[in-house]
Chains A and B, each alone.
Chain A
Amino acid sequence: MNMQKYRKKVYDEVHGYIELDETALKIVELDVFQRLRRIKQLGVTFYVYPGAVHTRFSHSLGVYHIMRKLSERLSREGYIKRDDIPLLEAAALLHDIGHLPYSHALEMFYLRSERSGFGHEDLSREVIVNDGDVKEVLTSVGIDRHEVASIIEGRHREPLYNQLMSSDLDVDRMDYLVRDSLHTGVTYGSIDLDRLLETISVDPEGNIAVKDKGLIAAENFYIARLHMYRGVYYHKTSLGYELLLTLIWGELINMYNELKPFRSISGIAGLIRSGVFKYLDDYWINGLFYRILGEQGGFADEEIKDLISRFLYRKGYKACYDQTVLVYKEAPNKAEIEREVEGILRGMKKKVGDVDEKYMLVFADTIPVYKEEEAVSIVTGKGDSLKIHEYPGSFIGRLPKYILIKRIYIHPFLYQLAGCM
């Protein structure tokens, strides 16, 4: 047992009571952490699954809870230093602190942007290292904020700590698969968390592993992930709304000077340092959208207002071309995929005439299901270990390695014209 006295219990819909000690409570009470109550975990997925309105706040508490259970056990078994448990718990609580409103939906804008290419981990690092309140709290409890950030960035000196936070079988995924499955109602995304937590171990090279008696739970974890990718995270409709949001956001940050800081990571880092970041949540974005819709004159033209309305009232772009392929061998060639999708797009453009590119949005990506080098190991009673896809009796090696998704979304007024129906 952790000797620190628990100060508060929070009832969580996935894990039951989550006990927060003094350090955790101080972090949870920070304004910038409370902000996570107002950021939906699955961004725009509620347009497809109405129940998917759970938040980054409950997910962060869940990740903390799993990290606490796991690190205490691994500490008892001698894999983790007891003194490092509060550090790992702080990293778990803060791992998503840099998420922008609408979670991955808005993040996609920055990841896809050639000029920026940063994600929420980069912003989490900025918040942990540069937010004055976070700095004060972590210092007051004797935790080095740079060390917390290094775990989230995957460059802590102890590779096991990095793997606990980010690997095939990490505490983040163990929470979000169960939580997202519960809230979407997509039951085949569920995993046997108790069994996993009982059987997770460390292999002779210091990697996260699963004892052989937990093989089925580990296999089910991979299957659940595959199903959730297809059924939820890359759902045709919600992905269309994510693309629409990124389109709107790209237009607005160039149109409005007040949004200039959002053009770069250094600009957003400035908002973090000045204490403004705590205001940035889903409500803030919606407020901005409603304000723009109500503007008379101003910068926003009817075109952007139309896009915002379509986003808010679920009248978004529709998929005119949609192909999802399971790939069992090597990754598909990116250039070939892009050429193919460009060809289809050209065909559609011929039908609709000379329209602005923003009316046709392309998504083409290859999502890894499992990679041999990152796959979890299975350890036997004798202490030997093998990667799960090589383990006798495991079927993971027969799973598809990638999901290839090619889609073209089109503005509703062009849908019929482009021959989509």
Chain B
Amino acid sequence: MRDPCVVWFIAYKLNPNVSLNRLEDRLLLQKIGYMVQEILGYNLGYKFSWYSYGPYSRTLSRDLHAYETACIARGNMLDDRSLSQLVDRFTSIYVKAQSLCKDEPMARTLEIIASIHMLAKNTYPPSTDPVADLLRIKPYIRRTCAEEIERMLIEEGIIDRLGSDQVK
């Protein structure tokens, strides 16, 4: 069962002004969806493809539009303890990454986290150097920022160290 409301909920928590009218926000919502499902392991029921703008799900894009009002109406779902924990875990990863890339906007930071994770874990053949592969298609990303975030994801046990079995 697909559930876009969790994505809406976290997005509002991070930025109450998030809007589907802005392309940047729509991509931000996609990255949140990816991170919740693929990094935090909360199955939202979406399949993410790998495009130059990072992990992206067409079905999630449709659902975000279609269920926006319904999801806002479900705003009291934070009462659910497991969702609160999910938000806390999400925020913790985001805050750590943001501290490593202080000048980057939120959408860019999430884009880097989600893209490095997708390259390392969910593309095929798996990337042996996610940062290099990422910078090749997104030359506007700062190398130091991508490298710091990759290191943080390894330290958190979210992706494996390069050269391990996971990325062979």
Contact = CB atoms under 8 A, between A and B. Distances in A.
A331 B26 CA distance: 13
A261 B23 CA distance: 42
B160 interface: no
A155 B50 contact: yes
Contacts of A206: 52, 136-137
Contact of A117 (B45, B49, B67, B138): B45
Interface string A48-80: 000000000000000000000000000000000
Nearest to A121: B47
A309 interface: no
Nearest to B133: A157
Nearest to A334: B66
B138 A162 contact: no
B52 A205 contact: yes
Contacts of B119: 157
Interface stretch (A12-20, A295-303, A366-374): A366-374
A219 interface: no
Contacts of B52: 159-160, 163, 205-207
Interface in A320-355: 330-336
A194 interface: no
Contact of B23 (A150, A163, A373): A373
B139 to A, nearest CB: 8
B123 A371 contact: no
Nearest to B126: A157
B42 interface: no
A270 interface: no
A156 interface: yes
Nearest to B136: A206
Q: Of residues A155, A160, A371, which shows the largest number of chain B Cβ atoms within 10 Å of its Cβ?
A: A155
A130 to B, nearest CB: 16
A154 interface: yes
B68 interface: yes
A157 B66 contact: no
A336 B123 contact: no
B82 interface: no
A366 B64 CA distance: 13
Contact of B65 (A149, A160, A330, A336): A330
A162 B85 CA distance: 35
A372 B49 contact: no
B contact patch SS = mixed
Contact of B62 (A155, A167, A330, A368): A368
B66 A366 contact: yes
A327 to B, nearest CB: 10
Interface in A129-179: 144, 146-147, 149-150, 153-157, 159-160, 162-163, 166-167
A120 to B, nearest CB: 13
B124 A147 contact: yes
Contacts of A155: 48-50, 118, 122-124
Given A146-B124, A147-B124, A155-B49, A205 B138 contact: yes
B69 A335 contact: yes
Contacts of A149: 124
Contacts of B53: 205, 373
A315 B123 CA distance: 47
Interface string B108-151: 00000000001100111111000001001111000000000000
B79 to A, nearest CB: 21
B2 A117 contact: yes
A329 to B, nearest CB: 9
B124 A150 contact: yes
B50 A334 contact: no
Nearest to A118: B47
A264 to B, nearest CB: 15
Interface in A252-269: none
A114 interface: yes
Given A368-B62, A371-B61, A373-B27, A156 B124 contact: yes
B164 interface: no
A134 B58 CA distance: 29
Contacts of B67: 334-335
Which 4 residue pairs are nearest across A and B when measured between Cβ atoms?
A154-B49, A331-B65, A334-B66, A150-B124
Given A366-B66, A373-B53, 20 more contacts: A144-B125, A147-B125, A155-B124, A156-B50, A156-B123, A157-B133, A159-B51, A159-B52, A160-B52, A162-B50, A162-B51, A205-B52, A205-B53, A206-B137, A330-B21, A331-B62, A334-B66, A372-B23, A373-B26, A373-B27
7 contacts: A114-B1, A147-B124, A157-B127, A157-B133, A160-B52, A335-B70, A374-B58
Interface of A: 114, 117, 144, 146-147, 149-150, 153-157, 159-160, 162-163, 166-167, 204-207, 330-336, 366, 368, 371-374
